[in-house]
Structure 1
Amino acid sequence: MTSLDSFVGKTRIAYFSMEIAIIPEMHTYSGGLGVLAGDTARSCADLNLPMVFLTLLSREGYLRQEIGIDGGQIEHPDPWKPELWAEPLGAMISVRIEERDVWIKPWLRLLRSPNGNEVPVLLLDTRLDENLPEDRDITDRLYGAGEEYRLKQEIVLGVGGARILDALGFGIETFHLNEGHAALLAAELLRRHPHRNGHGSTAAVTFDVGRIRDRCVFTTHTPVEAGHDKFSYELVQRLLGNDFLPIDAFRAVGGTDRLNMTCLALHLSGFVNGVARSHGDTARRMFPAFDVRDITNGVHAASWVHPALGKIFDVVAPGWGHEPELLINADRLNDVDVWSAHETAKAELIALVAERAGRRLDPALPILGFARRMTGYKRPDLIFTNLERLRAIARRQPFQLVMAGKAHPQDEGGKQLIVAIHRHMRELEHDITVAFVPNYDLSVARTLVAGADVWLNTPMPPMEASGTSGMKAALNGVLNLSVLDGWWSEGCIEGETGWAVGEPGAGPDSHAASLFDKLEETVLPLFREDRARWTWMMKEAISKLGSRFNSQRMMRRYASEAYLR
Structure 2
Amino acid sequence: MTQMGGSLLKQRIAYFSMEIALSNDIHTYSGGLGVLAGDTIRSSADLNIPLVAVTLISKKGYFRQELTCDGRQIEHPDPWDPSRFMQQLPEEVTVQIEGRNVHIKAWLYTVKSPIGGSVPVYFLDTDVEGNSPEDREITSFLYGGDERYRIKQEIVLGIGGVRMLEKLRIDVRKYHMNEGHSSFLALELLRKHEMNVDKVRNMCIFTTHTPVEAGHDKFSYNLVQEVLGEFIPFSVLRSLGGHDRLNMTLLALNLSNYINGVAKRHKMISEEMFPSYEIHAITNRIHSYTWTCESFKRLYDKYLPGWAHEPE
Match of 2:61 in 1: 61
1:310 CA drift (Å): 2.1
Who is 1:240 aligned against?
228
Looking at structure 2, the residues matched to 241 and 249 of structure 1 have their Cα atoms a distance apart, in angstroms, of 14
Deviations 1:18-54 (A, max 9, x none): 0001111110101110011011111111111000000
The answer for the alignment partner of 1:101 in structure 2 is 101
Name the counterpart of 1:266: 253
Residue 275 of structure 1: which of 262, 265, 269 is its match?
262
Structure 1, residues 166-203: CA drift from partner, whole Å, max 9, x if none? Answer: 00001101000000001001111112222xxxxxxxxx
What SS class does the counterpart of residue 107 from structure 1 fall into? strand
**Identity within the alignment, %:** 55
Q: Deviations over 1:43-71 (max 9, x none)?
A: 11111100000000000000001111111
1:114-513 matched pairs, under 5 angstroms: 114-194=114-194, 207-242=195-230, 244-323=231-310
Secondary structure in 2 matching 1:13: strand
List per-residue Cα deviations over 1:439-471 (Å, max 9, x = no partner): xxxxxxxxxxxxxxxxxxxxxxxxxxxxxxxxx
Higher-Rg structure is 1
In 1, Cα distance between the equivalents of 2:117 and 2:11?
A: 13
1:360 aligned partner: none
Q: CA deviation at 1:72?
A: 1.3
How many Å apart are 1:116 and its aligned residue? 2.3
Q: Deviations over 1:84-115 (max 9, x none)?
A: 11100010000001110000000000011112
Quick one: distance in 2 between partners of 1:165 and 1:66? 38
Aligned position for 2:19: 19
1:48 counterpart SS class: coil
One-letter amino acid of the structure 2 residue matched with residue 148 of structure 1: R
**How is 1:5-44 mapped onto 2 (pairs within 5 angstroms)?**
10-44=10-44
Counterpart of 1:115 in 2: which secondary structure?
A: coil
What's the offset of the Cα at 1:221?
A: 0.3
Q: Partner amino acid for 2:232?
A: L
2:109 counterpart SS class = strand
Q: What's the secondary structure of 2:307's corresponding residue? A: coil
Partner amino acid, structure 1, of 2:111: L
Instruction: Give the letter for the 1:273 counterpart.
Output: N
Distance 2:198 2:291 in 1: 40
Paired with 1:11 and 1:150, the residues of 2 have a C-alpha distance of 31
Structure 2: gaps of 5 or more residues: 1-8
Structure 1 CA distance for aligned equivalents of residues 288 and 179 of structure 2: 23
Q: Secondary structure at the match of 2:59?
A: coil
Separation (CA, whole Å) in 2 of partners of 1:140 and 1:37: 20
Deviation sequence 1:294-332 (CA, Å, 0-9, x none) = 111110000111222222222332111121xxxxxxxxx
- Alpha-carbon contact 1:274-1:293 (below 8 Å) kept: yes
Q: How big is the shift at 1:16?
A: 0.1
CA distance in 2, matches of 1:70, 1:192: 54
Secondary structure, aligned partner of 1:101: strand
Amino acid at match of 1:87: Q
- CA distance in 2 between partners of 1:225 and 1:267 (Å): 17
**Secondary structure, in 3 states, of the residue corresponding to 1:173?**
strand
**Counterpart residue number, 1:87:** 87
Question: 2: distance between equivalents of 1:40 and 1:272?
Answer: 16
Please report how far the alpha carbon of residue 11 of structure 1 lies from its aligned counterpart in structure 2 after TM superposition.
4.3
Greater share of strand: 2
Whole-Å separation in 2 of the counterparts to 1:299 and 1:123: 23
CA RMSD in angstroms comes to 1.2
Match of 2:6 in 1: none
Give the corresponding residue for 1:488.
none
Equivalent residue letter for 2:26: M
* Amino acid aligned to 1:281: M
C-alpha distance in 1, partners of 2:134/2:201? 35
Q: Distance in 2 between matches of 1:233 and 1:191?
A: 19
Cα deviation code 1:480-514 (max 9, x no counterpart): xxxxxxxxxxxxxxxxxxxxxxxxxxxxxxxxxxx
Q: 5+ unaligned residues in a row in structure 1: which ranges?
A: 1-8, 195-206, 324-551, 554-565
1:267-319: per-residue Cα shift (whole Å, max 9, x none)? 00000000011111111111110111111111000011122222222233211
Larger RCO: 1 or 2 (CA < 8 Å, sep 6+): 2
| 2: CA distance, partners of 1:26 / 1:11 | 28
- For the Cα contact (< 8 Å) 1:11–1:52, is it kept in 2? no
Counterpart contact for 1:138–1:149, Cα < 8 Å: yes
